[in-house]
Amino acid sequence: MSNQIYASQDLQNRSFIGKDLTGVDFSGADLRGCDFTRAILVGANFDRVITGQSQRHIPISILSVIIAAIALVAFSFMLEKIDSLLFDSFGDLYRKIVNVLLPIVLILLLFLRDTILEKFPRITNFLGDASFGIFVVMTVLLTLGLGFISFTGTFLFLIPTLISAIISFYVFQWFIESIKKKIGTSFKKANLTDANFSQAIVKNTDFSFALLSGICINGWQLDSHTLFTGAKCDYLYLKPQQQQSYPLNSNFQTQEFKDFLKQFTEIDSNQ
C-alpha cells in the first residue's frame, strides 16, 4: 500500500501501473491522463476526482499521429527495399516462400486479433493513428496539388480543388473529433472493489476488464466516451456508507450493469 498523500493533488499524466494503492485517498485530485492499469485500488477514495484527457492531450495526440504516419511510411519503404534485395539474391525461390508464408501469417493474425488487441494495445493504437495520419496528409496534399495546377493556368481543376478542399476540411474535423473521444484516464484491469466515486466527474475513462463490485457512485457524472468493456460489477452503492446495495438482494446480470449506468451518462452535445 502506498503512503503517498494524493488528496486534492494535480496528478495529471502520472503513471500508477500495477501499483498497490489499497485504501489510498485521491479525493479531489485531478487524475486526467493518469494510468492505473492493473493497479490494486481496493477501497480507494475517488470522491470528487476528475478523470479524462489532460490539458496537453490534443497537441500530443496530433504530434503522435504525424510521427506515426511518418514512421509507417518509412517502414513501408524499408520493407520494399528489403523485398527487392532478397528477390535479387534468391530470385523465384524467395517469391515462392513468400507466397506460401503470407496466407499463413494472415490467417494467424485473423485468429489472434483479439489477443493482439488486448496484449499489445499501444502497437494497435500506433497502427491506427498512422493509417489515420496518412489519410489526412493525403487529402491535404491532394488539395494543395490540385490548387497548384489550377492556379498555374489549368482552370478546369478549380472545381476538383474546391471539392477536395471541402473533403479535407471534413476529414480534419473528423480527425480532431476522434482525438477528443480518445481515452485519457485508464483503470483497465484495475481492482476497484469498494472504491468510492461519489461526485466524481468521469470522462474519457477506460474501465475495461476492471473489478467494480461494491463501488459507490453517488452523484458521479459519466460521458459517452467512457468504456466498461468486460468490466465486472456484481453490485454497487448509490449512497456513501449505505448498507443496502443495488440491485436489491441480487447481483447484476449480463449487460444489466452497463444498462444501469446509462442514466448517469451525459451525451456530448457535439455528437
1-53+184-271 is classed CATH 3.20.10.10: no
CA-closest candidate to residue 174, choices 132, 138, 144: 132
Instruction: Give the whole-angstrom CA distance, residue 210 versus residue 98.
Output: 42
Q: Are 184 and 203 in contact (CB under 8 A)?
A: yes
- Counting Cα atoms < 13 Å in the Cβ hemisphere of 198 gives 16
What is the mean predicted confidence (pLDDT) over 107-119? Answer: 58
Task: Take residue 18 and report the three cell numbers written for it.
Answer: 500495477
Per residue in 165-184, pLDDT (tens digit) is: 888 787 777 777 777 788 88
What is the mean predicted confidence (pLDDT) over 254-268? Answer: 77
Q: Across 64-78, 137-151, 160-174, 228-242, which has the greatest mean pLDDT?
A: 228-242
Distances (CA, A) of 235 to 17, 68, 211, 249, 270: 25, 42, 11, 10, 33
Query: What pLDDT is attached to residue 23?
Result: 92
Look at residue 270 and tell me whether its pLDDT is greater than 50. Answer: no
Where are the domain boundaries for CATH 2.160.20.80 in the chain?
1-53+184-271
Lowest-confidence region among 21-35, 151-165, 211-225: 151-165
Please indicate, yes or no, whether the overall pTM of this predicted structure exceeds 0.85. no
Pairing of strands 265-266, 205-206: unpaired
Residue 238 per-residue DSSP state: S
Q: Ramachandran region of residue 191, left (φ > 0), alpha (ψ -120 to 50) or beta?
A: beta
Look at residue 254 and tell me whether its pLDDT is greater than 50. Answer: yes
Sheet with 201-202, strands from edge to edge, namely 50-51, 201-202, 221-223, 265-266
Give Rg (Cα) of the chain. Answer: 24
Query: What pLDDT is attached to residue 163?
Result: 82
Look at residue 133 and tell me whether its pLDDT is greater than 70. Answer: no
Residue type, 183: I
